[in-house]
Protein backbone atom coordinates (compact mmCIF):
# COMPACT_ATOMS: atom_id res chain seq x y z
CA UNK A 1 0.00 0.00 0.00
CA UNK A 2 1.45 3.39 -0.89
CA UNK A 3 0.24 6.92 -0.32
CA UNK A 4 1.72 7.89 -3.70
CA UNK A 5 -0.51 5.33 -5.40
CA UNK A 6 -3.56 6.48 -3.44
CA UNK A 7 -2.85 10.05 -4.55
CA UNK A 8 -2.31 8.97 -8.17
CA UNK A 9 -5.59 7.05 -8.28
CA UNK A 10 -7.42 10.02 -6.75
CA UNK A 11 -5.92 12.47 -9.25
CA UNK A 12 -6.81 10.19 -12.16
CA UNK A 13 -10.45 10.09 -11.07
CA UNK A 14 -10.46 13.86 -10.70
CA UNK A 15 -10.40 13.98 -14.51
CA UNK A 16 -14.04 12.82 -14.44
CA UNK A 17 -15.22 15.84 -12.46
CA UNK A 18 -16.80 18.56 -14.61
CA UNK A 19 -18.01 22.05 -13.92
CA UNK A 20 -21.55 22.14 -12.54
CA UNK A 21 -21.54 18.59 -11.17
CA UNK A 22 -22.89 17.47 -7.83
CA UNK A 23 -20.12 15.14 -6.65
CA UNK A 24 -20.47 12.36 -4.07
CA UNK A 25 -17.44 12.14 -1.81
CA UNK A 26 -16.58 8.75 -0.36
CA UNK A 27 -14.73 8.10 2.86
CA UNK A 28 -11.23 6.97 3.80
CA UNK A 29 -7.55 7.72 3.32
CA UNK A 30 -7.64 7.49 -0.50
CA UNK A 31 -10.62 9.83 -0.68
CA UNK A 32 -8.72 12.23 1.57
CA UNK A 33 -6.28 12.74 -1.34
CA UNK A 34 -9.22 13.34 -3.66
CA UNK A 35 -10.79 15.92 -1.37
CA UNK A 36 -7.53 17.83 -1.09
CA UNK A 37 -7.01 17.87 -4.87
CA UNK A 38 -10.66 18.76 -5.52
CA UNK A 39 -10.40 21.62 -3.03
CA UNK A 40 -7.48 23.03 -5.02
CA UNK A 41 -9.55 22.91 -8.21
CA UNK A 42 -12.51 24.57 -6.51
CA UNK A 43 -10.30 27.34 -5.19
CA UNK A 44 -9.05 27.67 -8.78
CA UNK A 45 -12.61 28.24 -10.05
CA UNK A 46 -14.16 24.79 -10.65
CA UNK A 47 -17.88 25.14 -9.94
CA UNK A 48 -19.03 22.00 -8.18
CA UNK A 49 -20.98 21.11 -5.06
CA UNK A 50 -20.65 17.92 -3.05
CA UNK A 51 -22.51 15.50 -0.84
CA UNK A 52 -20.51 13.41 1.60
CA UNK A 53 -20.76 9.79 2.71
CA UNK A 54 -19.52 10.59 6.23
CA UNK A 55 -19.27 13.44 8.68
CA UNK A 56 -15.46 13.18 8.43
CA UNK A 57 -15.50 13.65 4.65
CA UNK A 58 -18.00 16.52 4.90
CA UNK A 59 -15.72 18.31 7.37
CA UNK A 60 -12.61 17.65 5.27
CA UNK A 61 -14.35 18.97 2.16
CA UNK A 62 -15.62 22.11 3.85
CA UNK A 63 -12.16 22.73 5.26
CA UNK A 64 -10.72 22.95 1.73
CA UNK A 65 -13.50 25.18 0.41
CA UNK A 66 -15.90 22.66 -1.15
CA UNK A 67 -19.59 23.46 -0.61
CA UNK A 68 -21.25 20.37 0.92
CA UNK A 69 -25.00 19.92 0.61
CA UNK A 70 -27.18 17.95 3.03
CA UNK A 71 -27.83 14.64 1.26
CA UNK A 72 -31.23 14.41 2.94
CA UNK A 73 -32.31 17.13 0.46
CA UNK A 74 -30.76 15.41 -2.59
CA UNK A 75 -32.19 12.67 -4.82
CA UNK A 76 -29.60 12.46 -7.57
CA UNK A 77 -25.82 12.78 -7.72
CA UNK A 78 -23.80 13.12 -10.94
CA UNK A 79 -20.59 11.33 -9.98
CA UNK A 80 -19.42 9.64 -6.80
CA UNK A 81 -15.79 8.81 -6.11
CA UNK A 82 -15.06 6.43 -3.24
CA UNK A 83 -12.44 4.02 -1.94
CA UNK A 84 -12.65 0.26 -1.46
CA UNK A 85 -11.08 -2.47 0.66
CA UNK A 86 -11.13 -5.05 -2.14
CA UNK A 87 -12.00 -4.76 -5.83
CA UNK A 88 -11.90 -7.41 -8.55
CA UNK A 89 -11.88 -7.35 -12.35
CA UNK A 90 -15.70 -7.46 -12.46
CA UNK A 91 -15.88 -4.34 -10.25
CA UNK A 92 -17.25 -6.28 -7.32
CA UNK A 93 -16.04 -4.51 -4.19
CA UNK A 94 -15.93 -4.88 -0.45
CA UNK A 95 -16.18 -1.56 1.36
CA UNK A 96 -16.68 -0.33 4.88
CA UNK A 97 -13.39 -0.71 6.74
CA UNK A 98 -13.97 2.97 7.54
CA UNK A 99 -17.50 2.20 8.71
CA UNK A 100 -19.37 4.39 6.21
CA UNK A 101 -20.75 1.68 3.90
CA UNK A 102 -24.45 2.36 4.55
CA UNK A 103 -24.28 6.02 3.52
CA UNK A 104 -21.79 5.06 0.80
CA UNK A 105 -24.26 2.61 -0.70
CA UNK A 106 -27.14 5.09 -0.60
CA UNK A 107 -25.09 7.77 -2.35
CA UNK A 108 -23.69 5.25 -4.85
CA UNK A 109 -27.25 4.20 -5.71
CA UNK A 110 -28.24 7.85 -6.22
CA UNK A 111 -25.29 8.44 -8.54
CA UNK A 112 -25.32 8.44 -12.32
CA UNK A 113 -21.74 7.14 -12.17
CA UNK A 114 -19.73 5.71 -9.29
CA UNK A 115 -15.99 5.21 -9.50
CA UNK A 116 -13.63 3.59 -7.05
CA UNK A 117 -10.12 4.85 -6.36
CA UNK A 118 -7.61 2.48 -4.80
CA UNK A 119 -3.98 1.55 -4.51
CA UNK A 120 -2.93 -1.81 -5.90
CA UNK A 121 -3.14 -3.60 -2.54
CA UNK A 122 -6.93 -3.52 -2.93
CA UNK A 123 -6.95 -5.30 -6.30
CA UNK A 124 -7.88 -8.99 -5.80
CA UNK A 125 -8.65 -11.96 -8.04
CA UNK A 126 -11.92 -12.53 -6.16
CA UNK A 127 -13.41 -10.54 -3.29
CA UNK A 128 -13.95 -12.24 0.04
CA UNK A 129 -10.78 -12.29 2.14
CA UNK A 130 -11.47 -8.87 3.70
CA UNK A 131 -13.80 -8.51 6.64
CA UNK A 132 -17.32 -7.72 5.51
CA UNK A 133 -18.79 -4.95 7.67
CA UNK A 134 -22.51 -5.04 8.42
CA UNK A 135 -24.25 -2.00 9.94
CA UNK A 136 -26.76 -3.17 12.50
CA UNK A 137 -29.54 -1.64 14.54
CA UNK A 138 -28.16 -1.87 18.13
CA UNK A 139 -31.47 -3.45 19.24
CA UNK A 140 -30.84 -6.37 16.84
CA UNK A 141 -27.12 -6.94 17.57
CA UNK A 142 -27.27 -10.47 19.01
CA UNK A 143 -29.92 -11.60 16.54
CA UNK A 144 -27.99 -10.37 13.49
CA UNK A 145 -24.74 -11.84 14.90
CA UNK A 146 -26.42 -15.26 15.09
CA UNK A 147 -27.77 -14.94 11.54
CA UNK A 148 -24.33 -14.00 10.17
CA UNK A 149 -22.75 -16.93 12.03
CA UNK A 150 -25.36 -19.22 10.53
CA UNK A 151 -24.24 -17.94 7.11
CA UNK A 152 -20.71 -19.10 7.95
CA UNK A 153 -19.06 -15.94 9.30
CA UNK A 154 -16.80 -15.36 12.27
CA UNK A 155 -18.28 -12.17 13.69
CA UNK A 156 -16.62 -9.40 15.72
CA UNK A 157 -18.43 -6.38 17.14
CA UNK A 158 -16.54 -3.22 16.20
CA UNK A 159 -15.96 -0.56 18.89
CA UNK A 160 -18.00 2.61 18.62
CA UNK A 161 -21.02 3.61 16.59
CA UNK A 162 -21.51 4.79 13.02
CA UNK A 163 -22.50 8.30 11.89
CA UNK A 164 -26.04 6.87 11.97
CA UNK A 165 -25.79 5.77 15.63
CA UNK A 166 -25.70 2.07 14.77
CA UNK A 167 -23.13 -0.66 15.49
CA UNK A 168 -20.94 -2.55 13.04
CA UNK A 169 -20.43 -6.30 12.97
CA UNK A 170 -17.30 -7.31 11.07
CA UNK A 171 -18.05 -10.67 9.43
CA UNK A 172 -15.21 -12.80 8.09
CA UNK A 173 -16.25 -15.45 5.61
CA UNK A 174 -12.72 -16.36 4.45
CA UNK A 175 -13.90 -16.84 0.90
CA UNK A 176 -17.22 -15.83 -0.62
CA UNK A 177 -18.21 -18.33 -3.30
CA UNK A 178 -21.42 -16.57 -4.36
CA UNK A 179 -21.32 -12.84 -3.46
CA UNK A 180 -24.80 -12.11 -4.90
CA UNK A 181 -26.36 -14.92 -2.85
CA UNK A 182 -24.60 -13.73 0.31
CA UNK A 183 -25.66 -10.11 -0.31
CA UNK A 184 -29.27 -11.21 -0.74
CA UNK A 185 -29.11 -13.33 2.42
CA UNK A 186 -27.77 -10.42 4.52
CA UNK A 187 -30.25 -7.99 2.94
CA UNK A 188 -33.02 -10.34 4.14
CA UNK A 189 -32.01 -10.17 7.84
CA UNK A 190 -34.20 -7.69 9.76
CA UNK A 191 -31.99 -5.29 11.69
CA UNK A 192 -29.09 -5.58 9.24
CA UNK A 193 -29.27 -2.10 7.74
CA UNK A 194 -26.49 -2.31 5.19
CA UNK A 195 -23.30 -4.16 4.32
CA UNK A 196 -20.07 -3.65 2.44
CA UNK A 197 -20.73 -5.86 -0.57
CA UNK A 198 -20.94 -3.56 -3.60
CA UNK A 199 -21.74 -5.83 -6.54
CA UNK A 200 -23.57 -3.61 -9.03
CA UNK A 201 -22.81 -0.08 -7.84
CA UNK A 202 -19.30 0.45 -9.24
CA UNK A 203 -19.03 1.63 -12.87
CA UNK A 204 -15.25 1.99 -13.03
CA UNK A 205 -12.14 1.85 -10.88
CA UNK A 206 -8.82 3.68 -10.97
CA UNK A 207 -6.25 1.39 -9.36
CA UNK A 208 -2.68 2.66 -9.02
CA UNK A 209 0.24 0.30 -8.53
CA UNK A 210 3.90 1.37 -8.42
CA UNK A 211 3.10 4.66 -10.11
CA UNK A 212 0.88 3.33 -12.91
CA UNK A 213 -2.88 3.79 -12.98
CA UNK A 214 -5.11 1.06 -14.39
CA UNK A 215 -8.69 1.94 -15.37
CA UNK A 216 -11.13 -0.95 -14.98
CA UNK A 217 -14.47 -0.28 -16.69
CA UNK A 218 -17.69 -2.21 -16.75
> Would you list the DSSP string of 150-218?
HTT-EEEEPSS--TTS-EEEEEE-S--S-HHHHHHHHHTSTTEEEESEESSS--EEEEEETTEEEEEE-
Binding segment for ligand 5RP among 7-15, 98-106, 138-146, 163-171 (CB under 6 A)? Answer: 98-106
Nearer to ligand 5RP among residue 146 and residue 164 (C-beta): 164
Closest by CA position to 130, among listed 107, 101, 162, 159: 101
What's the number of CA atoms in the CB half-sphere (13 Å) around residue 53? 32
Interface mask toward ligand 5RP for 14-43; x: CB under 6 A: ------------xxxxx-------------
**Residue 82 binds to ligand 5RP (criterion: CB under 6 A):** yes
Q: Strand 154-157 relative to strand 132-136: parallel, antiparallel, unpaired?
A: unpaired
Say which of 16, 49, 86, 104 is annotated catalytic: 104
Nearer to ligand 5RP among residue 8 and residue 100 (C-beta): 100
**Residue 135 binds to ligand 5RP (criterion: CB under 6 A):** no
CA-to-CA distance for 166 and 183, rounded, in angstroms? 19
Is 104 tagged catalytic? yes
Q: Smallest distance from the beta carbon of 150 to ligand 5RP, in angstroms?
A: 25
Q: Smallest distance from the beta carbon of 179 to ligand 5RP, in angstroms?
A: 16
Please name every residue paired with 117 in a beta bridge, in sequence order, or none if there are none.
206
Give the containing element (helix H, strand E) for 10. Answer: helix 3-14
Q: Smallest distance from the beta carbon of 201 to ligand 5RP, in angstroms?
A: 12
Residues that bind ligand 5RP (CB under 6 A): 26-30, 82-85, 95-101, 104
Catalytically annotated residues: 104
Amino acid sequence: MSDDDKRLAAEAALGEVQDGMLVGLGTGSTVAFLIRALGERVRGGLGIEAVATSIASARAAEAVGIRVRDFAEVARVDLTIDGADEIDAWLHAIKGAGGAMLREKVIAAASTRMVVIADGSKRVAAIGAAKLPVEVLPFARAFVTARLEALGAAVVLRDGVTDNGNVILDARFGAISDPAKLAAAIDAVPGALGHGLFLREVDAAYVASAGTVELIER
